[in-house]
Chains A and B, each alone.
Chain A
């Protein structure tokens, strides 16, 4: 069976996309940028000492699951969440919910989503899909990164839901119990903005927020020492483009998505200052996109000498400066709402 009332749409990001789809299915009119912004999803972190990572990486949004938790805390949306030790029980519970017409979001290892092109699939236990049906041994899946509903064999889904490793899903799934009639944007937007400002320029460790961006620019210069050969270095530098554009960011490292949130928030509150901030954030997104193109180009041509990495580092440092000014302004704007 398939839950016919579920409307599959692609989305910029898997977590905000699945949340939006589930909320819309439940009758709440809300957009993906609003979910992302109200959940204070924008972030920056340079991770070099996480024991599970084979190479340093940077993140551009908050930890998986935080969006949902913050929304639950800030709004009257009620989520039902479950984790499982027993794989059979997880499958039975998923089947039960689908048979009752309830779409279920599941955390999975992206690698096992075999409908996605092979070159995209990497081991990452932070992907969210929505299960919207089952036919025989196959589940019908709504994945924000795939243009239409997809199918996945139950054995593959089981592996994906119970993959071990960093941020192991442990069968995690959730669905929505109830939604409020309306969201009080006047109350929520300032709270969400202040949280984001704090994440980016508040008191944070040196690898988080704007300081994290500067750490990234600095540490990047040492990447040649961490790689096996020039191909490996090229691969890691080109992944900067993938992290900024392709891994579900909406482009420009989530900055375009956040700019759209600011624009929608300005319309909801009738606040002109937020219009200006949205324009500035759109320009910041363009700056990150320039970095992603540059990284792809020097990676492809193996033009990875110290001068080029320094040039890349300078571009990243410039973004840190621009973002620092932006969040200081955003703090003032949020205080005046």
Chain B
């Protein structure tokens, strides 16, 4: 690739590309991401659609929170099993509505760790009215912020609702 064709003006995501320079030598340049510059809105659109459709199913009690987060994090059953240390057969079972209520608190904790969320979030969805369709980076620009802080108690999280001072 010629150097002049490789430059993409996109500051938020920079990367290194190897190109043929003006003098014919080959070497690196720092440039922006082509796909993020041109198609990031499409990516967020798909992610929000997926999240909202899963949330709807969750509200109607058609899927379990384990299934919800598994898809959001793009894990399959084997990967989720390895990340939690819970056997695959149990991971499969915990995604069924009938069996969700049989999950032990210690297992909930393992799932929450793998999904990088507080345990309590497996049983609640925190939504700010009017923000349902906004991506997380947009939410940081909103007047109200929700911050969750872990405590030394592994089962307790402090959820603070704050005015955005930015």
Contacts and interface: CB of A to CB of B under 8 A. Distances in A.
A63 B129 CA distance: 46
B153 interface: no
Interface stretch (B18-26, B91-99, B101-109, B120-128): B18-26
B21 to A, nearest CB: 10
B30 A147 contact: yes
Interface stretch (B57-65, B79-87, B158-166): B79-87
A231 B46 CA distance: 6
A166 B26 contact: no
Interface in B1-22: 1, 6, 12-20
A115 B98 CA distance: 40
Contact of A252 (B1, B73, B84, B114): B1
B68 interface: no
B152 interface: no
Nearest to B11: A147
A232 B43 CA distance: 11
B40 interface: yes
B78 interface: yes
A123 B73 contact: yes
A260 interface: yes
Interface in A145-186: 145-147, 159, 163-166, 168
Number of chain B interface residues as a range: 35 or more
Given A123-B73, A145-B15, A164 B49 contact: no
Interface stretch (A71-79, A235-243, A305-313, A326-334): A235-243
Contacts of B13: 117, 120, 246
A159 B114 CA distance: 9
A138 interface: no
B6 A251 contact: yes
Interface stretch (A38-46, A91-99, A281-289): A281-289
Contact of B82 (A53, A111, A165, A286): A165
A255 to B, nearest CB: 9
Interface residues of A, number: 56
A208 B38 CA distance: 32
B34 A159 contact: no
A164 B83 contact: yes
A221 B18 CA distance: 31
B148 interface: no
Interface string B26-48: 11101001111011101110100
Contacts of A144: 16
A161 to B, nearest CB: 14
A259 B17 CA distance: 12
A17 B28 CA distance: 12
Contacts of A286: 1
B156 to A, nearest CB: 16
A296 interface: yes
B75 interface: yes
A284 to B, nearest CB: 11
Nearest to B80: A165
Contacts of A52: 76, 78-79, 82
Given A118-B137, A231-B50, A166 B17 contact: no
Contacts of B82: 52, 164-166, 168
11 contacts: A10-B15, A12-B15, A117-B13, A120-B13, A123-B74, A238-B39, A241-B35, A246-B13, A259-B18, A282-B26, A300-B39
Given A51-B76, A256-B18, 16 more contacts: A33-B26, A54-B79, A111-B116, A164-B83, A165-B75, A246-B13, A246-B36, A250-B18, A250-B28, A256-B17, A257-B18, A259-B26, A260-B18, A299-B42, A300-B38, A300-B42
Interface of B: 1, 6, 12-20, 25-28, 30, 33-36, 38-40, 42-44, 46, 49-50, 73-76, 78-79, 82-85, 113-114, 116, 136-137
Interface of A: 10-12, 17, 32-33, 51-54, 111-112, 117-120, 122-123, 144-147, 159, 163-166, 168, 231-232, 234-235, 238, 241-242, 245-246, 248, 250-252, 256-257, 259-260, 263-264, 278, 282, 285-286, 289, 293, 296, 299-300
